[in-house]
Amino acid sequence: MRVFINAIPGVYRNAQYSLSEEGFKGLGVETILYFSGEELAGIRREDILIATKRTVTKRLEDIGAEHEILTHPEELLPFMSKSERLVDASTITEADLPAFIRPAKGVPFTSVAARGMIDLKLNGIKGDVWMSDIERFASTWRCFVRYGKVISIDVCEGDPKVLPDFALIHEAGAAWTSAPAGGALDFGVTADGRTQMYTTRDGWCLDPCGMDARGYALLLAARWAQMIGVEDELAGIK
């Protein structure tokens, strides 16, 4: 296993790129920085690719790797907003908006706060989607899960002093029976102090927020190995 990272030394697109290089190097895994697609000619099926979501999605499709998870699995619905409802996007009308809309599976479009029908069209929203009332969060947090265990909880946006209900987050992490080998749960803390989950995240193309480099690399390796159907060479490392 090697790790191909779309970057040139010292110039990275975001924290995902630099953190993954740091993490995998620390674990003794060979990392290769590449700039153009031509430099991927020697990439092997088991090699991890760190690049844009579009590039990685195409790579996964080319090698026939299953890479979709449910954004709202049934076992996690009790931890989500009571306003969540599953609908066919084609049935949404102006009267249903504004609403926050997320794909029901995978990442066919980016989650969006839709305030009018034009937002659905501009964002390519179609198929089954989850809709909920738009709520403002004082802070958002990401719970990272590897092989069914919560390994880190980190603030993503907002005021880091507005803390979530960590016990509830751990409870949700334990309840996530359909979790991939590496993934995350996103939570928000509302203005009145409620902690609620709003989506799952797949581990293969994931913003690390404030996660440490070692844990992030281990999570990426676990999910990649699962998707391509090989043994995770780093599975025994904690």
| C-beta separation of 111 from 72 below 8 A | no
Rg of the chain over all Cα atoms, to the nearest angstrom: 18
pLDDT in tens, 105-131: 766 667 899 999 999 998 889 889 999
pTM over 0.85: yes
Q: How would residue 141 be classed by pLDDT, with cut points 50, 70 and 90?
A: very high
Q: What's the pLDDT at 129?
A: 93
pLDDT attached to residue 106: 64
The reported pLDDT for the residue numbered 108 is 62
How much is the pLDDT for 15? 82
48: enclosing H helix or E strand: strand 48-50
Q: What is the mean pLDDT of the chain?
A: 92
Q: Is the pLDDT of residue 24 over 90?
A: yes
Q: Which of 73, 57, 48, 185 is nearest to 109 (CA)?
A: 57
| Average pLDDT, integer, range 177-192 | 96
User: Are 128 and 104 spatial neighbours (Cβ–Cβ below 8 Å)?
Assistant: yes
How large is the average pLDDT for residues 48-60?
Answer: 92
3-state secondary structure of 6: strand
Q: Tell me the pLDDT tens digit for each residue of 76-111.
A: 999 999 999 999 999 999 999 999 998 887 666 678
Backbone angles phi, psi at 20, to 5 degrees: -65, -40
Token couple for 223: 């999910």
